Amino acid sequence: MHATRRHSLYHAELLHASGRTADAVREHGGRVRQQVFGNKVFVRGVLEISNYCRQNCNYCGMRRDNKAIDRFRLPLDIAREIIFNHLPPAITDINIQAGEDVVAVRDIVPLLREIRERTSLGISVCLGTLSSREYDMLREAGASFYIIKLETGNPLHYKEVQAPGTFEKRIAAIRYLAQTGWSVSSGFIAGLPGQTTEHMLETLQVLGELPLAGNSVSPFIPGGDTPFGTYPASTPDLSLNAVALMRLANPRRIIPAVSAMNLVGRDAYSGAIRAGANLTTINLTPPDARRNYVLYQRDRYIMDQDRVLRAIRNAGCEVSTRSMARWLAEQRPGSVPVAPSNLETAARFGEAA
């Protein structure tokens, strides 16, 4: 059998593994994470500043055609109060996140400058596909880590689920960001309607080939106010196995445990850390705004500091006192190593399992 095809078969088996095989691949992912990062897990805070969005993704509750939510832009004085006076002590990095809202992008530039000047926080942003001028403006203001997800690495599937813009423009944005000095993280949704095993393997391949500092996987959660609201949620095994495969293929990347893991499995959030994730997130958004920041369901599982710290302990890890941004900066000169393009590490593990 051709080597590439053999490796694809191993990857498919590991992606859908359960029981002892799944336990083995996740334990191996955790060991690889331990070799690179030790038992330290980064803790960031996320502040969701706007749920306005010009995109119309079939899987997202903030899609522009959803009239069932109240739109908001968080006043900057509230954001400043949270960041400068009420930040949980475990947080070393802050992520400013919004729907694809160019007004919010413009408005937060002074806030980013103030965070840079007044704190030692690493600054991440997740603001969608923007112009090169806007990316440059955000970086000049102090942000250094950009989160821009693919959701699916198959161009046709990307179009079918109405993911943002076009697949080609999304890839071009990732490459521009990396070329201009950003640390970039991308990722996908496991179990997205219409997604095949080949789509997921293709996505892992694409993510491995991109110049990323981080990657992620989120389980699909059906949103009641979306075209995909009647589809079943993803399984915890699929997402946890994907975390482990990402870690095996990308030993030095930042991989988050995402809050949606809590909605697909009782111990899935801590399980993601055990499988190789090394980043957690505390939600800082005020409750009135948060209920309308509908990534999937209104009834989100909110990770506060106590829940995050408990999950880290349950995974046998400790909070990192060094920020994610500082760790990434210490990898310079040069960039964070790009992963093998065909997941050879995972394939070798599959051959030995």
pLDDT attached to residue 3: 38
Is residue 305 a contact partner of residue 88, using CB atoms and an 8 Å limit? yes
Which domains, from first to last, does the chain contain? 3-352 (3.20.20.70)
Residue by residue, DSSP assigns 38-56 as: TTEEEEEEEEEEE---S--
Whole-angstrom distance, CA of residue 96 vs CA of residue 151: 19
For residue 94, the model assigns a pLDDT of 98
- At 298 the pLDDT is 72
Q: What is the DSSP letter of 233?
A: P
For residue 240, give the nearest of 212, 222, 262 by alpha carbon.
Answer: 262
Look at the alpha carbons of 231, 280, 252, 25 in this order and tell me if their dihedral is positive or negative. negative
Angstrom distance (rounded) from CA 225 to CA 215: 27
Are the C-beta atoms of 174 and 186 separated by less than 8 Å? yes
Question: Tell me: the pLDDT tens digits for 21-70?
Answer: 999 999 999 999 999 999 999 999 999 999 999 999 999 999 999 999 99
**In the block, which residue shows the tokens 């915890």?**
236
pLDDT of residue 292: 93
Nearest-CA neighbor of 204 among 152, 160, 168? 152
Model confidence over 253-300: pLDDT tens digits?
Answer: 999 999 999 999 889 999 999 999 999 999 999 999 999 999 887 778
Question: Residue 8: what pLDDT?
Answer: 63
User: What pLDDT score does 2 carry?
Assistant: 40
Within the chain, which residues score under 70 in pLDDT? 1-10, 332-353
Q: Do the beta carbons of residue 145 and residue 124 sit within 8 Å? A: yes
Q: Looking at residue 338, what is its pLDDT? A: 42
pLDDT at residue 353, rounded to an integer: 47
